Amino acid sequence: MNKPIIHIEQCGFLTTLQDTGRTNYLQFGVSKGGAMDMHAAQLANTLIGNETSAAVLEITQSPHRFRFMQDTLVAFTGGGLQPQLQETLLPINQSFFIPAGTTVECKLQLPGFRLYMAVAGGFKADTFLNSYSTDLLVKSGGYQGRPLRKDDILKQHKELSVLQQRLLNVLKAGATVEINHETASITNNIIRVLQGVEWDYLDDKSTQLFSQASFTIGPQSSRMGYRLNEKILKTNRNSEIISSPVTQGTAQLTPSGEMIILMADAQTVGGYPRIAQVCAADLSLLAQKKPGDKIQFQIVSLQEAELLYMKRVDDLKRVKEVLQSKLA
């Protein structure tokens, strides 16, 4: 297998191979990693019949150009860029067929910050601790442990399944397979959170400001964490704590009043008060925000957060079931 399928003719500043991340290694200080917008990555795979854990391309908003070396079944999800074949705009959140020898460009900007590309059979990638995700810190996984660049060749990981071959044949014949599903609006700036373990470290004024004020994603933000520009929150006690567990979505407050929200490549422990935790369902929305974007926080209950997460899980399950029924 492992046949070459894509030649990268132009590559932006941070495009990597990612999957659902590493599990069971947090106790060893290894970050989970994986796609920033996990829902978009899993949706892209589901739309073309891959396992949700297959490696996908995470494309950060900047010009890209890909030449397809084989007939390929593709799905784009997320935001930030509009893929196009010559002058034809390609659909997002839908599977389609790309013939061999075709060049696809991603240069027109859309709301959002990260576009995901999945190909049927998945991308071949290096494995690091049972994950294909690129870990930029230790330079392992993905494509030689680094961001992709011009003239890299991406290969297909697996042969197409029976379902994928049927889908490819249908799309090759000129038909479309549309699956209606709910996707959160990327332009929404409300991020839902739970009160954190050290929420009561905030003084009374700060507990009000937390939900009332707007916060701006700072220029030093990365896959490890988003730094928010506004330093308006204050604590009512020493703002450092004994190093304690943190995870993706943990909002920490530094002594300077700067808030940091940990993202996909977050460390596993931290020494700042954990004042909030972004709901798992809204981490994908937050991942589509870029430096300069403004967000607001809405505090929800644990029960609400669980319902929001299960809705996302059910949506992916329904997409899979509909695809199977259409190709039965």
**Distance, CA of 151 to CA of 143 (rounded, Å):** 13
Q: Is residue 295 part of a domain?
A: yes
Is 220 part of any domain? yes
Rounded CA-CA distance 107/91 in Å is 14
Residues 170, 230: one domain? no
Asked, for residue 185, whether it belongs to a domain, the answer is no
How far is the first Cα of the chain from the last one, in angstroms, to the nearest whole number?
Answer: 26
Residues 10, 154 within the same domain: yes
Is there a contact between 3 and 155 (Cβ–Cβ < 8 Å)? yes
Q: What pLDDT was estimated at residue 92?
A: 94
Q: What distance in Å separates the CA atoms of residue 165 and residue 49, rounded to the nearest whole number?
A: 10
Q: 133 lies in which domain range?
A: 4-178
pLDDT averaged over every residue in the chain: 94
Q: Are 239 and 260 in contact (CB under 8 A)?
A: no
- Whether residue 318 is contained in a domain is answered as no
The tally of domains found in the chain comes to: 2
Q: Answer yes or no: is 183 within a domain.
A: no
Task: Give the CB-side neighbour count of residue 130, counting CA atoms within 13 A.
Answer: 7
Please identify, among 135, 150, 178, the residue that sits at the C-terminal boundary of a domain. 178
pLDDT tens per residue across span 313-322: 999 999 999 9
The whole-number pLDDT of residue 243 equals 85
pTM: 0.95
The pLDDT, as a whole number, for residue 238 is 76
Regions of the chain short of the pLDDT cut 70: 1, 182
Per-residue model confidence (pLDDT) at position 185? 81
Residue 114: predicted pLDDT: 98
Residues 76 and 134 in one domain: yes
**pLDDT tens-digit map of 189-247:** 999 999 999 999 999 999 999 999 999 999 999 999 999 999 999 998 877 788 899 99
Q: How far apart are CA 273 and CA 242, in angstroms?
A: 9
The answer as to whether 153 is a domain residue is yes
